[in-house]
């Protein structure tokens, strides 16, 4: 009876926490998703794609890939993949090297309206994270372009392994698709909350912190930020957004730990699903996963060295959202 009562209490806690977290997350996401849809209908993504054309050409990519990255920046990977597939049918196919550059940039900087709003709500200033993600995406893309070209690496034609089914046109179909996305985010969130409770109950949270503490310490991030970092890196800012907000607001983490942890996961997040999607477009896994993570670690290490020693008042003025 005691065991049953304990399990019942635990399940109620998981359900209650999941509802509270998802409510906070959806309050942020739904208005942003609607605004992005309006901007899409007004042609804002096409305009951004045209503006990005010179940047893409600098990275050894055809100009039309600017529209692909612009779609990823405003929307999600599935929408960007559909744009890419529709465009390559009318142009010369890309090499594996070119696809690796494009998809690496997409992995670092995508779905910015939603993800930056989540990050901003956790504390950091929106502009600093936006500049970090777009800047790192372009710099890393350029490094990949130069290195792959110098080594004559991945120059063969990329092969599409899979392509997503397009969403049927119409406002109702779009709304139903977004509701479906929110449903799956909630399902994953419930599973995450249950997993975190399990780790706490079994003492595995402490073990995980001890395991990852040396890596985080090297980057200048405290071990208390382990849960926050692991959630973001493995699942991403959208799926893990609710728990990220809760961890960031727990009061257990310092302002700098929250900021640098979110900066790391902004570059190196959703290591599983998103990476697999980009592999399906024909990208090279070394460039989009190993290289991206190593470069991300280097960027955060440099940021900690440059800004981590600043007094809290100065750091807060430049990098922290004052009215959080």
Can you give the chain as a three-state secondary structure string?
Answer: CHHHHHHHHHHHHHHHHHHHHHHHHHHHHHHHHHHHHHHHHCCHHHHHHHHHHHHHHHCCCCCCHHHHHHHHHHCCHHHHHHHHHHHHCCCCCCEHHHHHHHHHHHHHCCCHHHHHHHHHHHCECHHHHHHHHHHHHHHHHHHHHHHHHHCCCCCCECCCCCCCCCCCCCHHHHHHHHHHHHHHHHHHHHHHHHHHHHHHHHCHHHHHHHHHHHHHHHHCCCHHHHHHHHHHHHHCCCCCHHHHHHHHCCCCCCHHHHHHHHHHHHHCCCCCHHHHHHHHCCCCHHHHHHHHHHHHHHHHHHHHHHHCCCCHHHHHHHHECCCC
Beta-bridge mates of residue 95: 157
- How many independent structural domains does the chain possess? 1
Residue 320's CB is within 10 A of a number of other CB atoms, namely: 17
The alpha carbon dihedral of 79, 82, 87, 88 has a sign of positive
Domain that holds residue 295: 2-156+172-319
Share of the chain above pLDDT 90, in %: 32
Lowest mean pLDDT across 140-149, 196-205, 210-219: 196-205
Residue 315's CB is within 10 A of a number of other CB atoms, namely: 16
Does the structure show a pLDDT above 70 at 252? yes
Q: Is residue 50 part of a domain?
A: yes
Q: Is residue 140 part of a domain?
A: yes
Q: Are 101 and 66 in contact (CB under 8 A)?
A: no
Distance (Å, whole) CA 66 – CA 317: 34
Distance (Å, whole) CA 103 – CA 107: 6
Q: Is residue 270 part of a domain?
A: yes
Distance (Å, whole) CA 256 – CA 134: 21
Query: pLDDT class for 299, splitting at 50, 70, 90?
Result: very high
For the record, the structure tokens of 161 come out as 């392994």
Give tens-digit pLDDT for 146-195. Answer: 999 999 999 998 888 766 566 677 788 878 878 887 887 788 778 877 87
Q: Is residue 163 part of a domain?
A: no
The pLDDT score that the predictor gives to residue 194 is 83
Does the structure show a pLDDT above 70 at 88? yes
Q: Is residue 288 part of a domain?
A: yes
Q: Is residue 324 part of a domain?
A: no
Q: Is residue 162 part of a domain?
A: no
Q: Is residue 128 part of a domain?
A: yes
Angle at 283 between CA 277 and CA 286, to 5 degrees: 105
Give tens-digit pLDDT for 2-20. Answer: 556 666 777 788 888 778 7
- The mean pLDDT value for 287-297 works out to 94
Q: Are 68 and 227 in contact (CB under 8 A)?
A: no
pTM of the complete model beyond 0.85: no
What residues have CB less than 8 Å from 185, skipping those under 6 apart? 22, 25, 238, 239
């Amino acid at each position: 009876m005691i065991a049953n009562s304990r399990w019942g209490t635990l399940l109620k806690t998981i359900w209650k926490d999941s509802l509270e977290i998802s409510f906070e997350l959806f309050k942020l996401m739904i208005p942003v998703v609607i605004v992005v849809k309006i901007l899409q209908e007004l042609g804002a993504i096409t305009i951004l794609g045209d503006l990005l054309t010179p940047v893409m050409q600098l990275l050894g990519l055809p100009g039309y890939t600017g529209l692909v990255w612009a779609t990823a920046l405003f929307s999600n990977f599935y929408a960007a993949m559909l744009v890419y597939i529709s465009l390559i049918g009318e142009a010369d196919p890309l090499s594996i090297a070119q696809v690796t550059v494009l998809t690496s940039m997409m992995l670092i900087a995508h779905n910015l309206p939603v993800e930056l709003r989540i990050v901003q709500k956790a504390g950091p200033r929106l502009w600093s994270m936006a500049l970090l993600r777009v800047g790192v995406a372009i710099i890393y893309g350029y490094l990949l372009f130069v290195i792959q070209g110098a080594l004559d690496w991945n120059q063969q034609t990329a092969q599409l392994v899979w392509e997503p089914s397009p969403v049927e046109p119409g406002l109702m179909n779009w709304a139903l698709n977004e509701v479906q996305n929110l449903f799956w985010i909630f399902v994953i969130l419930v599973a995450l909350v249950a997993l975190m409770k399990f780790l706490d109950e079994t003492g595995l949270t402490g073990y995980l912190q001890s395991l990852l503490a040396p890596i985080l310490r090297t980057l200048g991030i405290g071990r208390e930020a382990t849960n926050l970092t692991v959630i973001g890196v493995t699942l991403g800012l959208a799926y893990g957004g609710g728990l990220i907000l809760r961890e960031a607001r727990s009061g257990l983490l310092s302002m700098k730990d929250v900021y640098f942890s979110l900066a790391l996961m902004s570059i190196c997040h959703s290591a599983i699903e998103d990476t697999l999607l980009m592999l399906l477009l024909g990208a090279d896994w070394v460039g989009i996963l190993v290289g991206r993570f190593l470069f991300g670690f280097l960027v955060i290490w440099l940021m900690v060295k440059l800004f981590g020693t600043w007094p809290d008042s100065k750091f807060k003025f430049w990098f922290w959202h004052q009215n959080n």
